[in-house]
Copies of this chain bind each other. A is one copy, B any other.
Amino acid sequence: MSAINREIHLASRPTGWPTADNFRLVETEVPKPGPGQLLVRNRYLSVDPYMRGRMNDVKSYVPPFALDAPLDGGALGEVVVSEADGFAPGDVVLHRLGWREYALVDARSARVVDPDLAPVTAYLGVLGMTGLTAYAGLLDVAAMRPGETVFVSAAAGAVGSLVGQIATLKGAARVVGSAGSAEKVARLRSLGFDAAFDYHDGPVRDGLRAAAPEGIDVYFDNVGGDHLEAAISALRPHGRVAICGMISQYNSAEPPAAPRNLAMVIGKRLTLRGFLVGDHEPLREQFVREMSGWLREGRLSYDETVVDGIENAPAAFLGLLRGENLGKMLVRL
Contacts and interface: CB of A to CB of B under 8 A. Distances in A.
A275 interface: yes
A246 interface: yes
A134 B76 CA distance: 51
Interface stretch (A260-268, A304-312, A318-326): A260-268
A257 B228 CA distance: 15
A261 B86 CA distance: 45
Contacts of A246: 262-263, 266
Contact of A61 (B224, B228, B262, B268): B268
Interface stretch (A66-74, A100-108, A149-157, A237-245): A237-245
Contacts of A266: 243-246, 274-276
B255 A261 contact: yes
Contacts of A263: 224, 246, 249, 256
B273 A265 contact: yes
B272 A276 contact: no
A60 interface: yes
A269 B258 contact: no
Contacts of A228: 262
A332 B224 CA distance: 47
A44 B269 CA distance: 29
User: Interface of chain A, helix or strand or loop or mixed?
Assistant: loop
A258 B246 CA distance: 15
A271 interface: yes
A128 to B, nearest CB: 19
A109 B102 CA distance: 74
Interface in A96-122: none
Interface in A38-93: 53, 60-61
Interface string A140-176: 0000000000000000000000000000000000000
A279 interface: yes
Nearest to A275: B269
Contacts of A265: 243, 272-274
17 contacts: A53-B267, A60-B267, A243-B265, A244-B266, A246-B262, A255-B260, A258-B262, A265-B272, A265-B273, A265-B274, A266-B274, A267-B276, A268-B274, A269-B273, A269-B276, A271-B272, A272-B272
